Amino acid sequence: MSASIIDGKAAAQALRDRLAIEVSRIDAEHSWVPGLAVVLVGEDPASQVYVRNKGKQTAEAGMRSFEHKLPASTSERELLDLVESLNRDDAVNGILVQLPLPEHIDAQLVIETIDPAKDVDGFHPMNTGALSNGDPTALVPCTPLGCLMMLREQFPEGIAGLNAVVVGRSNIVGKPMAQLLIAESCTVTVAHSKTRDLPALCRTADILVAAVGRPEMVRGDWVKEGAVVIDVGINRVQLEGQEKARLVGDVAFAEAAERAKAITPVPGGVGPMTIACLLRNTVVAACRQHRVVCELG
C-alpha cells in the first residue's frame, strides 16, 4: 500500500474560510468580531515566527488580534496582572499564553489564572475536566482537536470501535487526544517511554497518533497495513553540512507511508490545523460570551 498524504494546509485553509464567513455573519448581525490575545514572554525566534503567523491568520479571518510581547525578565506577578486585565477586557474573547514560559514563572499558575471561558488552548483544569467528563462545552486543546478533524475525514464510516494508539502522554497533546478518541468510542491505548514492546503495540493501531517529540522514532514496521497515521511531532534537526535545519516529525515518513492508508506530513500536516483550531476556539468562545448561536458545530 502507498499512503495518501493528508493535506493539513488545505484542511486548515478550508476551516479558516468557514470561520471567516461565520465572523462576517456575526459582525453583520451583532456588530462585534471575536478577539484573540496572544502573550509571548521572551524572544525565542521560533516562537516569534509562530506568534506572527497566528496574528496574520487571525486578521485574515476578520478577527481582532492583540499581541503582547514581554521580555524574558518579566516577573510572574507582571504576567498574572496582564492575564487578569485580559480577562476583564470585553474585546478579548480568547487568551493564549505561549508555552514554555521562562523557568522563574509557574506556568500552571498562569494557566489557572486565565478565565476558563477565554481559555482557547483548553489547558485550564475546568476545561480539561470538562473534556474528561465528555462535556460538549469544553474548550478542547487545539492540536488534538485538529488531529480529530483530520481523522474524521479519513473515515467516512466513522471511527467508533477502532483501535487507537496514542504515543505520548503530555497534558497538551497525548492526554486530551486520548480523551477525544474515547469520546468517539475508539478503543484507546496511551503509550509512553515506559511502555513495553512499543512496536508491537503500535502494530495493533488502526489509528496511530505520534506525539513524543523524538525525530522519526516511529518506524515503518510499527505501522499496521492500512492504518491512518497522525504525526504531531515538529522537530528541527540540523543535518551535517547543511545550513538550514530541517523539520521532521515523530514518524519516519517514507517508511510509514509504504504501509499506512493515509498519513500526515511534517510540515504541512498537524501544525497548520493547530492554528486554525485556535481561531475556531476563539470564535466559539466569543459566541458563548455574547450568548449568540455559533454555526460551527
Ligand X SMILES: Nc1nc(=O)c2c([nH]1)NC[C@@H]1CN(c3ccc(C(=O)N[C@@H](CCC(=O)O)C(=O)O)cc3)C=[N+]21
Binding site members: 168-170, 234
> Of 140 and 159, which CB lies nearer to ligand X in the complex structure?
140
Question: Should residue 139 be labelled a site residue for ligand X when binding is judged by CB under 6 A?
Answer: no
115, 118, 119, 121: the catalytic one is: 121
The reply to whether 90 belongs to the active site is no
**Antiparallel, parallel or unpaired: β 262-263 and 246-248:** unpaired
Q: Residues 122, 281: contact at Cβ < 8 Å?
A: yes
Strand 64-70's sheet: what is its strand order? Answer: 64-70, 35-41, 94-97
Q: Minimal distance in Å, beta carbon 99 to ligand X?
A: 4
Encoded amino acid at 255, one letter = E
**34 vs 265 by CB, closer to ligand X:** 265
Options 24-32, 132-140, 195-203, 267-275: segment touching ligand X (CB under 6 A): 267-275
Per-residue burial over 235-270, b = 16 or more CB atoms within 10 Å of its CB, e = otherwise: beeeeeeeeeeebbbbbbbebbbebbbbbbbbebbb
Residue 54 and residue 257: Cα distance in Å, rounded?
Answer: 30
CB of 102 within 8 A of CB of 45?
no
Cis omega (within 30 of 0) on the bond before 267? yes
Grid cell 499496521 — which residue? 224
CB of 112 to ligand X, least distance (A): 14
Element (H, E) at 247: strand 246-248
Least separation in angstroms between CB 241 and ligand X: 21
Site string for ligand X, 71-110 (x = CB under 6 A): -------------------------xxxx-----------
Smallest gap from Cβ 206 to ligand X, in A, equals 24
Select from 57-65, 158-166, 214-222, 269-277 the region that touches ligand X (CB under 6 A): 269-277
User: Which of residues 267, 289, 290, 294 is near ligand X by CB under 6 A?
Assistant: 267
Q: Which is nearer to ligand X, 50 or 222 (CB)?
A: 50
Which residues in 184-243 contact ligand X (CB under 6 A)?
234
186-223 as b/e: b if 16+ CB within 10 A: bbbbbbeeeeeebeebbbebbbbbbbbeebbbbeeebb
Q: Is 121 in the site for ligand X (CB under 6 A)?
A: yes
State the minimum distance, in angstroms, from the CB of residue 205 to ligand X: 22
Contact call for residue 111 and ligand X (CB under 6 A): no
| Contact (CB, 8 A) for 35 and 62 | no
Shortest-Cβ-distance residue relative to ligand X: 271
Could you tell me which of 222, 292, 283 has the C-alpha nearest to residue 17?
283
Candidate residues 272, 280, 282, 285; the one interacting with ligand X per rule CB under 6 A: 272
Nearest distance in Å: CB 119, ligand X? 10
Q: Are 282 and 93 in contact (CB under 8 A)?
A: yes
Please, which residue, 34 or 122, has the CB nearer to ligand X? 122
Answer yes or no: 108 catalytic.
no
Active site residues: 54, 98, 121
Rule CB under 6 A: which residues touch ligand X? 50, 96-99, 121, 142, 234, 247, 266-268, 271-272, 274-275
